Structures are given as structure tokens and as C-alpha cells.
Amino acid sequence: MTRSIDVAVVAGDGIGPEVTAEGLKVLDAVLAGSGTTVRTTPFDLGAARWHRTGETLPDADLEAIRGHDAILLGAVGDPGVPSGVLERGLLLKLRFALDHYVNLRPSRLFPGVATPLAAPGEVDFVVVREGTEGPYVGNGGAIRVGTPHEVANEVSVNTAFGVERVVRDAFARATARPRKQLTLVHKHNVLVHAGHLWRRTVEAVGADFPDVTVDYVHVDAAMIYLVTNPSRFDVIVTDNLFGDIVTDLAAAITGGIGLAASGNVNPDRTTPSMFEPVHGSAPDIAGQGKADPTAAVLSVALMLEHLGLADEARRIETAVAADLAARGTAVRSTAEVGDALAAAV
């Protein structure tokens, strides 16, 4: 039986195209001879497109992307684009339009990887970050802008519908893991309305997952645990903004954003999910073959897992783990790392 997967590729800007090329190289290699073939369609979106046409994500592109099985994104942005334009007009627009309500960010400290922590212990947890609500909804505004009487508000919107579905997904992931632990990270002593909705939802959904142990940690306390005892976490579920903050710290303690992969997932599979490294376009090192493609390659593994190709995903992760364990101090180019991983899978 042959199967074909259709991948929309938004390579983007800066190091985006470089790391994406390696991700696709490894994807081809892992599927070679498997009967599954890949078809990729490039989408010219990001800073370059915006500079040329002023467009971020035209309807036609969005509709074309919808027809694919998954999206691979490299990185978008450059210093010439005003802050917020591509974030809200492209990246968040994709996440919202395609209802990527699970922003999945695994954090694993692979053997051999340098970490800023003196005694990290075993680190292997996954953050399930809500992707379509919270302060990311764009529901803010300002009056009297530029005057001494300006008032600028940002509204975090949280719904029972939105919280319930992501919490349920997090429980399902926790129940499938050996330790079966779920930690809710929020700030319900201050954000009482949103916080209590999250808390009640975790309590209610937990009844359907009696084998999962649940606890709660304030977001500020989570900062402390992440550097003093990250092993305590198995699955973290949290809102969009706290998730943004927690996952960058999680990436930092597990070797940096150069290794951190993420999936913007629609578990209902009504739209293509999107897989991207956590890092940005890093214009300072773009075009020099210096970028580490590992996060892009691991994002491909998350994509394969989501598409039901779990064996292939495992093979990539195993190859990455071996490559990281064997890394010495020798500096390899982006393509050299990609070649090594492609050969290993």
C-alpha cells in the first residue's frame, strides 16, 4: 500500500530555509523505501513577501494551505518588519485560522547535551500550551494613544470550550506516558476568573482519567521548579501566554532553542497541523550554514507522529539522540548535521 503525504512548506526568513531544507532531507531519508511518499508545496510567506507585497497571509494562500496534510514552518521575520506584523498577521493567524488549539512542546534533555543547570537530573516532560485563546486573541485596544491619557488594554479570553478541549488532550497525553502526571500551571490567586475556570476544568476532566496524578503550580513557582527540579514535571498544561514563557525556559534548560521542536496541533484533524522549531529566524547567522537544524528535524518527527507514522518519528528521535550524544567540540555546518541525521535514519 502506498500513501502520499502533502506538506505545505513555509521555509520563511533568515535561517528558516536552511534548517527546513535539512528537515526535508531527513524526512525524505526516513521515508525512503517505506511506501509513503512526500509531496511538498513551498509557500512564499514571511518577511521577504511582506517587504515585496505588503501581504502577510492572503486568503488564497491560507485556502491553499488548508488542502495539505501538514505544514512545516522554518522561521519568519527580520528586523525590517515592525514588531507584531508577521507574528499576528502570519504565525498567529495560521494558528488561529487552523484552530491549532494544542501547542505541543516536548522538553527532553538528551544525553551529551550541555545545559546551563549544574544538576539537571533527568528531564523529559511535555508542555501542552493552549494555542487559540488567552491574551493571544488580539482582543485589546488603546485610547488616546500617544497622549498622557493613553489607556492600553489587553484581554485574556478563556472559554469552557477552549480550556476543556486542551485539558482533555493533555490528560490523554499524560495517561499514555509512564509517569502519568499532569501539572496545571496558572496564576489563579491573581487571575481568579480565568484561573478558576482552568482549575475547575482540570478537576472535571480528571474524573475521566483516574490513573493520572494531578497537581497545580503557580506560574511564578514553576520558574523555580524548572531550574531547581525540572524532573518533577511530566505533562504541563497551561494557557497560551504562560506556555510561551514556560517553554522558552524549558528549552533553555534542555540545551537551548536550537534543539526545541514544537507542533501546533489540531487534534480533531479538521485542518493541517503545523510543525516548527521554537527558535526564530536568527538574521545574525543567516546564510552562513551555522544554524543547528536539529529543532527543525525534531519538528519533522513530531509531524510524522501526528500523521500516524510513529515508527519513522522514533527513528528520527533515535538518530538525533545518537548524534547529540556523539557531538564533540567540532563545529559542523547546517548541512553536515542534516546529512548525518539523514544517513542515520
Ligand X SMILES: CC(C)[C@H](C(=O)O)[C@@H](O)C(=O)O
Burial of 155 (0-12, 13-18, 19+ CB in 10 A): exposed
Q: Sign of the C-alpha dihedral, residues 344, 178, 218, 186?
A: positive
Q: Is 190 in the site for its own copies (CB under 8 A)?
A: yes
From the list 276, 321, 311, 320, the residue with the least C-alpha distance to 296 is 276
Residue nearest ligand X (C-beta atom): 87
Residue with cell 496541533: 265
Instruction: Tell me whether residue 281 is annotated as binding.
Output: yes
Q: What is the dihedral of CA 247, 90, 73, 18, to 10 degrees?
A: -100
Q: Would you name the residues annotated as active-site residues?
A: 136, 187, 220, 244, 248
Rounded Cα distance between 213 and 313, Å, is 28
Instruction: Tell me whether residue 280 is annotated as binding.
Output: yes
Whichever of 39 and 51 has its CB closer to its own copies, that residue is 51
Whichever of 228 and 288 has its CB closer to its own copies, that residue is 228
Q: Report the site for its own copies in 197-236 (rule: CB under 8 A).
A: 197, 200, 219-221, 223-224, 226-228
C-alpha cell, 120: 539537571
Whichever of 58 and 140 has its CB closer to its own copies, that residue is 140
Q: Is 187 in the site for its own copies (CB under 8 A)?
A: yes
The binding track of 236-265 with respect to ligand X, each residue x by CB under 6 A or -, is --------x---------------------
Instruction: Tell me whether residue 29 is annotated as binding.
Output: no
Question: Choosing among ligand X, its own copies, none, which partner's interface includes residue 221 (Cβ < 5 to 8 Å by kind)?
Answer: its own copies
Contact segment (CB under 8 A) with its own copies among 23-31, 166-174, 189-197, 306-314 equals 189-197
- Amino acid sitting at position 328: G
Instruction: Tell me whether residue 95 is annotated as binding.
Output: yes
Among 2, 83, 153, 189, binds ligand X (CB under 6 A): 189
Q: Is 87 in the site for ligand X (CB under 6 A)?
A: yes
Q: What is the dihedral of CA 286, 289, 295, 296, to 10 degrees?
A: 90
The binding track of 198-237 with respect to ligand X, each residue x by CB under 6 A or -, is ----------------------x-----------------
Among 14, 17, 135, 272, binds its own copies (CB under 8 A): 135
Residue with cell 521555509: 11
The binding track of 100-119 with respect to its own copies, each residue x by CB under 8 A or -, is ---------------xxxxx
- Longest Cα separation, the chain: 68
Distances (CA, A) of 345 to 7, 61, 319, 336: 20, 33, 6, 14
C-alpha cell, 327: 557531538
Rounded Cα distance between 249 and 229, Å, is 13
Could you tell me which residues come within 8 angstroms of residue 280 by beta carbon, excluding any fewer than 6 positions away? 14, 75, 77
Q: Sign of the C-alpha dihedral, residues 30, 294, 263, 25?
A: negative
Binding site for its own copies (CB under 8 A): 83-84, 87-88, 92, 115-119, 135-136, 140-142, 144-161, 164, 187-197, 200, 219-221, 223-224, 226-228, 241, 244-245, 247-249, 251-253, 256-257
Q: Annotated binding site: which residue ranges?
A: 95, 105, 129, 220, 244, 248, 280-292
Binding site for ligand X (CB under 6 A): 87, 91-92, 189-190, 220, 244
